[in-house]
Structure 1
Amino acid sequence: MPRSERSPLLLAGLLAAAGVAHFASPRKFDETIPEALPGKPRTWTYASGAAELALAAGIALPRTRKPAALAAAAFFVGVFPANVKMAVDWRHRPTPQKAAAIGRLPLQLPLVLWARSVARNGEGR
């Protein structure tokens, strides 16, 4: 299978794994929910996990790949504030944890670009 054909499936797999993690270990995600959001953090954790699972399913299916990948790009932008909150909250933690939290910030851009590439290459399939 050529790389371009695997790319959507890899992105779908990443989103599915992240979605499952939101349900399997919600507490760590609850801590990243910005306090400015209304409601309980757990609700946002489960909602974002469900969204990731839905996006994964949409990207896995060629017929819905383009809109799902564009939605995934928007999702990656939308969760960026949670990653910023995590980096701020973890600034006093041990160096490996602090580095992981800060390292997540620049990873959002490649995720957005990857999702857009999947959407662009998903046209006409």
Structure 2
Amino acid sequence: MSRSERSPLLLAGLLAAAGVTHFAQPRQYDAIIPGALPGDPRTWTYASGAVELALAAGVALPRTRKVAALATAAFFVGVFPANVKMAVDWRDRPARQKAAAMGRLPLQLPLVLWARSVAKNGEGRA
């Protein structure tokens, strides 16, 4: 299997793993839900986990890959405020935790670009 054939499956695996952790360990996600969002943070945690699982399925399937990968790029942009909140909230934590929170911020750009690349390379494939 070539690198271009593996890339969508790896992205789908990342999304699926993240989606599962939203249900298996929701408290860690509840804590980074921006307070400006209405309702209970747990609802947002479960909703974002469900979205990640749906995106994973869409990216894994060649027929829906392009649209799902573009939606994934938008999703990564949309969750950026939660990563900012985490970085701000964790600024006084031990160095390792602070570094992990800060490290998530620049990681969003490669994730967006990866999803866009999967969408572009997924065009016309069935």
The TM tier, using the shorter chain, reads: over 0.9
- Post-superposition CA distance 1:55-97 (Å, at most 9, x none): 0000000000000000000000000000000000000000000
Match in the other structure for 1:51:
51
Q: 1: distance between equivalents of 2:59 and 2:103?
A: 26
SS in 2 for 1:123: coil
Runs of 4 or more consecutive aligned structure 1 residues displaced over 4 Å after TM superposition? none
What is the TM-score of this pair, normalised by structure 1? 1.00
Q: What 5-or-longer segments of structure 1 have no aligned partner? A: none
CA offset at residue 3 of structure 1?
0.2
1:26 partnered with 2:17: no
Q: 1: distance between equivalents of 2:103 and 2:109?
A: 12
RMSD of the TM alignment (CA)?
0.2
Matched-pair identity in %: 86
1:38 partnered with 2:47: no
Letter in 1 for 2:57: A
Match in the other structure for 2:97:
97
CA offset at residue 19 of structure 1?
0.0
Match in the other structure for 1:76:
76
SS in 1 for 2:64: helix
Match in the other structure for 1:118:
118
What is the TM-score of this pair, normalised by structure 2? 0.99
Work out the number of aligned pairs and report it.
Answer: 125
Letter in 2 for 1:27: R
